[in-house]
Amino acid sequence: MSAPGTLAFSGRLLRRQLVLALRRPVDIGNPLLFFAMVVVLFPLGLGPVPAALASFAPGILWIIALLANLLTADNLFRGDFEDGSLEQLLLSPQPLYISVLAYVLAQWLVTGLLLALVSPLFAVMLGLAGAAIPVLIASLLLGTAVLSLVGGIGAALTVGLNRGGMLIALLILPFYMPVLIFGSAAVQAVVSGMPAAPHLAILGAMLCLALALAPLAIGAALRISVDA
Amino acid sequence: MYFDSLHAALAMEGHGPFVWAAYAITAVVLLTLLLSPVLRSRRLRRDLAGEIRRRETAAGEGRHASGT
Amino acid sequence: MWSFFHKLGSPPWLYRISGSILRWLLPLTLIALCAGAVWGLFYTAPDFRQGNSYRIIYIHVPAAVVALAGYYVMAIAGAVSLIWKMKMADVAMKACAPVGAALTFIALVTGAIWGKPTWGTWWVWDARITSMLILLFLYLGVIALYEAFDNKEAAGKACAVLTLVGTVNIPIIYKSVDWWYSLHQPASIKFTGESSIDPSMLYPLLLMIGSFYALFTCALLMNMRLEILRRESRTGWVRKLVGA
């Protein structure tokens, strides 16, 4: 049997990851539930005044999406590291860059994409202006992809450690900050009647940079973690 | 010297506490930064020396025991 | 050239040469630091707008400059240890983190103290202060990651990858925080812009920046010597050194 081509291989890897995720729908639902619960915390903490909530809504929604993404980052490689299939992947002749992208893409499809799709519901609950909702979705689609890629670096660095959970947050939250700045600024810009396209363009540029460099760092970090 | 007296230099026209606090904290942090490797390497060298001495005496006893 | 590079990779040589460098560099650094501080504190005129509180600049700016440069030193050492598998570069990278973190801490604390008389508040979410805070988090992240590994060789490599990721990210973080601040800049707080600094104030500042670089080098070498001793504790030369 001949080895599959690179694209076919990563396609299979992507399908495998998605099938694994779909077998445990609770794991897919958890970040969304987390999103919903933290949204409730803000009116409870800040008071239910609609005007105040609406003015904070872009920042609130973006911070929660970021935290939800952070919570799922830790699981990106853990299962495959523990059952040894990650080691097999590193030994295989397939380019690690593409395989790693398949992992991250699968994770983004079940977290970032879903978060972006359900965000309008919570945006309406927080009283965000209707005109800002498409931009919120667009910024989350672009931004969570960057977050997943950067989170993958932290996940790959800490996958061999038992107490990865808190550490990964300390490592990658600083790298999340530029995404948060431009993501929430895009939504804020629409609310205050300015064009959001420049912010979205910068998020897109960040995504291109992360796509180019993050898989390299993830690959190097995975090799270190598996060797250790 | 810009200030007329030591008292004026300490007060710095009301800004003294801030300036002196900033310099004091910096001095403390920098001294800790420089002293901690000195103290830690001194302790490490003492521990290593003790370990070597213990091993030597153990080896000496071992030779003695095998000789008898 | 190559023999120098090979010597640089040899722990006993590095231990000996760093010892003889420190013997003259450390006293010189301490003298320069004291001289710069005395010059800045007593022999310069106060700033016409901020009065005497501006004298904090002589420790705040050097600490901030060297803290940022320190991250790049750490990243270069990390890259060298990853690419050429040079053990001493790994030692240098590990030794950088606490020194850089301490200098960042100094920059933040002195900035906060400076803020009180100047802006009337201890903490302002100003672009530069926020960036320094993020830099502190980056340093602490490297230390936390190193300490989390039991296998110190893997710890060094993992930290090297993290610092390289940080190097790519630092300009992005700085630019985005700058931009974020210009968007939200409150009108009530006016900052002194890019005003030109008088030479009589500039020279002590340059002396202090130079002294802080020297201080960074000293602390780095001292931490490296400690780490070399720790790693080489089973070898003959350390036993001879300690036993003597």
Q: How many structural domains are present in chain B?
A: 1
Bridge partners, residue C47, by sequence: C51
Minimum mean pLDDT among A116-125, B41-50, C38-47, C68-77: which range?
C38-47
Domain assignment present for C201: yes
Domain assignment present for C153: yes
Half-sphere exposure of A148 (CA within 13 A, CB side): 26
Q: Are C130 and C136 in contact (CB under 8 A)?
A: no
Compute φ and ψ for A133, nearest 5 degrees: -65, -45
Q: How many structural domains are present in chain C?
A: 1
Domain residues for the domain of B53 are: 6-65
Q: Are C80 and C86 in contact (CB under 8 A)?
A: yes
Q: Is C55 on the interface with B (CB under 8 A)?
A: yes
A162 by Cβ neighbours in 10 Å (0-12 / 13-18 / 19+) ranks as exposed
Residues A114, A36: Cα–Cα separation, whole Å: 13
pLDDT at C54: 79
Q: Is C49 on the interface with B (CB under 8 A)?
A: no
- Residue from C57, C139, C226 to probe the interface with B (highest B Cβ count within 10 Å): C226
User: What are the residues whose beta carbons fall under 8 Å from the beta carbon of C180, sequence distance 6 or more?
Assistant: A181, A185, C127
Mean pLDDT of A185-205: 89
Q: CA of C160: which chain A residue's CA is closest?
A: A221
The rounded Cα A156 to chain-centroid distance in angstroms is: 14
Q: Per-residue pLDDT for chain C (244 aa), expressed as one digit of tens each?
A: 667 767 777 888 888 888 899 989 999 999 999 998 888 888 877 776 677 777 888 889 899 999 999 999 999 999 998 888 888 888 999 999 999 999 999 999 998 888 888 778 888 888 888 889 999 999 999 999 998 888 888 888 899 999 999 988 888 888 888 888 877 655 444 444 445 667 777 888 889 999 999 999 999 999 999 998 888 888 888 888 877 5
Domain assignment present for B47: yes
Interface of A with C in 53-72 (CB under 8 A): none
Domain assignment present for B14: yes
The minimum CA-CA distance between C242 and chain B, rounded to whole Å, is: 6
Domain assignment present for C209: yes
The minimum CA-CA distance between C151 and chain B, rounded to whole Å, is: 20
pLDDT at A3: 66
Domain assignment present for C134: yes
Q: Do A178 and C172 touch (CB under 8 A)?
A: yes
Instruction: List pLDDT tens digits, range A59-88.
Output: 999 999 999 999 888 888 888 888 888 888
Q: Is C183 on the interface with B (CB under 8 A)?
A: no
Domain assignment present for B27: yes
Domain assignment present for B1: no
Domain assignment present for C216: yes
Domain assignment present for C203: yes
Mean pLDDT of A23-45: 88
pTM of the model: 0.88
> What average pLDDT does chain C have?
84
